Structure formats: C-alpha cells, structure tokens
C-alpha cells in the first residue's frame, strides 16, 4: 500500500426507507460491526455525487434528498481494517426501495429504527452519526 500523504475524504449515507427505518450493513472492514454504507471520494468528485455512487455500488439503492449531517475525524483508528487518516462526511438521505443488493464489502443488512440501531454492535463513528441524527430529529 502506498504511503498516505493527506487525509482521505469519505462519505457515509444514513439511508432511510419510506417507513423511517435506517439501513445498516455489517462489514468485515469494521471487524464485523454494523455501519452505514459509504466510501471514498474520488478526485474531482463532489461529496453528494460520491454519496450517490457509493450508496448505489454498496446497496443497489438510489438515494435522494441528501442533507449534510456532520463530519468526523478518523485518525489511524484501530476499529477499521486499515490504518489510515480519513475525514468522514455523513449525510442523511432517503430511498423509495427496501430491496438491497449488497456488494462484497458487506455480509448482511437490516432496516431498523435509529433508536434501536444504538442497541446493535455499531462501530463508533456510526454511533456518533446516529446520535446526531436523533438529536436533529428531536428524538435524542
């Protein structure tokens, strides 16, 4: 792996279905914990375009109404399978479908209420994003 010289921007999609449930995927990259779909931003790509692309690649879902939620700093954290420096940009968005087609990055998925999500084995950055989402909705 090439040496990293700068932090890598990454997007996370808190995807909500028409019933208000949040999509979570279990990922080997996060030591089997649940996360929201997302990934790196390519050079020259806008954050929202990366969000749509990553959501489609990882879940097969089309998303809409993306709304910026928060950013988080990830600096060589042991929770991830690679020792890297990332800046996460998390967005809340919606989809009309609940039919998920996972790629190889996830083992399983589930739709759950945001409050119930906090009772699952989430990686720490997903916990923070879900808590901020609940606060924004006035439920946290």
Q: What is the pLDDT of residues 42-89, one digit of tens each?
A: 999 999 999 999 999 999 999 999 999 999 998 876 666 567 788 999
104 belongs to a structural domain:
yes
Mean pLDDT along residues 33-42: 94
Predicted structure pTM score: 0.91
Helix (H, G, I), strand (E, B) or coil at 89: strand
Residue 128's nearest CA partner among 69, 47, 87, 79 is 69
Per-residue pLDDT at 107? 84
Sign of CA dihedral 48, 53, 58, 59: positive
Instruction: Provide the residue range defining the domain that includes 24.
Output: 8-136
The span from the CA of 45 to the CA of 51, in Å, is 10
44 belongs to a structural domain:
yes
CATH of the domain at 48: 3.90.79.10
Among residues of the chain, what percentage have pLDDT more than 90? 71
How many CB atoms within 10 Å of residue 45? Answer: 14
Q: Which residues of 17-139 form beta strands (DSSP E)?
A: 22-27, 33-35, 38-40, 64-75, 85-94, 108-112
Model confidence at 128: pLDDT above 60: yes
If you ran DSSP here, which 8-state letter would residue 91 be given? Answer: E
Mean pLDDT along residues 94-111: 90
Which tokens belong to 120? 């699952």
- β-sheet bridge partners, residue 35: 25
Model confidence at 14: pLDDT above 90: yes
Domain total for the chain?
Answer: 1
Mean pLDDT along residues 11-36: 92
87 belongs to a structural domain:
yes
1 belongs to a structural domain:
no
Per-residue pLDDT at 101? 93
């Amino acid at each position: 792996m090439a040496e990293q010289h700068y932090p890598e921007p990454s997007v996370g999609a808190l995807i909500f279905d028409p019933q208000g449930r949040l999509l979570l995927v279990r990922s080997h990259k996060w030591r089997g914990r649940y996360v929201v779909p997302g990934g790196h931003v390519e050079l020259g790509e806008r954050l929202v375009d990366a969000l749509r692309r990553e959501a489609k690649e990882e879940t097969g879902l089309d998303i809409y109404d993306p709304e910026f939620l928060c950013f988080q700093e990830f600096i060589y954290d042991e929770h991830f399978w690679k020792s890297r420096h990332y800046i996460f940009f998390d967005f809340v968005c919606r989809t009309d479908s609940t039919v998920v087609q996972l790629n190889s990055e996830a083992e399983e998925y589930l739709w759950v209420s945001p409050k119930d999500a906090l009772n699952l084995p989430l990686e720490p950055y997903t916990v923070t994003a879900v808590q901020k989402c609940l606060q924004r909705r006035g439920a946290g």
